[in-house]
Structure 1
Amino acid sequence: MITPEYCRMMARYNAWQNRQLTESLDGQSLEVLTEDRGAFFGSILGTLNHLLWGDLMWMARFDPSVEAPTVGVKQSVDLHPTLGAWSAARYHVDGKIGHWANSLRAMDLTGNLHWYSGTAKRDMVSPRTLCVAHMFNHQTHHRGQVHAMMTDVGLEAPVSDLFLLPGEG
């Protein structure tokens, strides 16, 4: 389904996108970042926090050196109260994702992943490759929501085309 090379490319894409979002949102007021815009996770910062929460949750399942968040999905929007706090945590997690992806071997992507889902309230089993693909898809999905909210506010959203990832193509 997916390869270590795919994971490395998507980890680079994720970090690039998050750097661009940080640069684009830097200097915006907390009011702009936290105003409920009708998105599933409310605001720009709420959505960014949820995305970071999801990355931490999935990475804790893939890499035992990553600590899972101590809050559930409903509280994920409040993970960090400011863009600066989010940005620092985001940089750290993107480094963890990059390190994990760079150390992957094909055999690391085989078999099933077993975990308890607090959201579904049950034990889960899915192919490891499906879970990894889901993590990267989840990132792209929620960044798309952030882009839409930025556009709605009148901010210029950064380029997000995968084929424009520096160093690719």
Structure 2
Amino acid sequence: MITGAYARRMARYNRWQNSQLADFLQELSPEELTRERGAFFGSILGTANHLLWGDWSWMPRFDAGPGPDSPPDSKGGGIHESVHLCPDLDHWLPLRETIDARIGAWADTLGDDPITGALTWYSEGKEKNISMPYAECVIGFFNHQTHHRGQIHKMLTEAGSEAPVSDLVFMPQEV
């Protein structure tokens, strides 16, 4: 069973990974960021947008705050529109930092006892209410991040870029 300590560690890891990723993304031209690469979400930016959208979509389930469809000027849409969340890095970078801070703040609210209970939400994709163990939702949330950052890592290296160090053992103590 996982605890709030696990979520806090993974929130720190998420922030560290996204900080490194941002540095590498900023070294690429807009053309390299948006080039179709045959990935499920197309381009590096499309995949980074989907990852950000996924995090932002899960946060209201965890902290009852706003989701990507909440702001009047949001381009949140559904999973298929997630690739268009931010048109460029100038929009992606500050939103990524905001959502990462929100993830950290939520994780800080969790105690050190095992995470128990159920989480219930309406799934637009399945068009019905879903109920799952809260702990499994937390694990799935962080697993989704790792999965898509792995895809971005592959695309970065294929583009001739360096890519972030992702091993948890190398995470700095303070992130």
Q: Give TM-score scaled by structure 1 length.
A: 0.95
2:166 corresponds to 1:160? yes
Q: Determine the C-alpha separation between the residues in 2 that align with 1:127 and 1:142.
A: 23
The amino acid across from 1:43 in the alignment is: S
| Structure 2 unaligned spans of 5+ | 70-76
Superposition pairs of residues 68-87 of structure 1, within 5 angstroms = 68-70=67-69, 71-87=77-93
Q: Give the fraction of aligned pairs with identical amino acids, expressed as a percent.
A: 54
Contact kept, 8 Å, 2:2 with 2:114, in 1: the verdict is no
1:89/1:37 Cα in 2 relative to 1: closer, same or farther (>3 Å)?
same
Q: Determine the C-alpha separation between the residues in 1 that align with 2:93 and 2:114.
A: 29
Q: Considering only aligned residues, what root-mean-square deviation do their CA atoms show, in Å?
A: 1.4
Superposition pairs of residues 75-154 of structure 1, within 5 angstroms = 75-106=81-112, 109-154=115-160
Which has more helix, going by share of residues?
Answer: 1
Q: Determine the C-alpha separation between the residues in 1 that align with 2:78 and 2:113.
A: 31
Partner SS, residue 33 of structure 1? helix
The amino acid across from 1:115 in the alignment is: W
| Structure 1 unaligned spans of 5+ | none
Cα distance, 1:47 vs structure 2: 0.5
Cα distance, 1:107 vs structure 2: 6.1
Residue 2 (structure 1) aligns with: 2
The amino acid across from 2:37 in the alignment is: R
Superposition pairs of residues 19-34 of structure 1, within 5 angstroms = 19-34=19-34
Cα distance, 1:106 vs structure 2: 4.6
Q: Determine the C-alpha separation between the residues in 2 that align with 1:107 and 1:160.
A: 28
Superposition pairs of residues 41-80 of structure 1, within 5 angstroms = 41-65=41-65, 67-70=66-69, 71-80=77-86
Partner SS, residue 162 of structure 2? coil
1:107/1:58 Cα in 2 relative to 1: closer, same or farther (>3 Å)?
farther
Which stretch has the larger CA shift, 101-110 or 115-124?
101-110
Q: Give TM-score scaled by structure 2 length.
A: 0.91
Which stretch has the larger CA shift, 87-96 or 159-168?
159-168
Partner SS, residue 114 of structure 1? strand
Cα distance, 1:28 vs structure 2: 1.6
Q: Determine the C-alpha separation between the residues in 2 that align with 1:140 and 1:45.
A: 16
Aligned length: 167
Q: Determine the C-alpha separation between the residues in 2 that align with 1:156 and 1:77.
A: 23
Contact kept, 8 Å, 2:5 with 2:111, in 1: the verdict is no
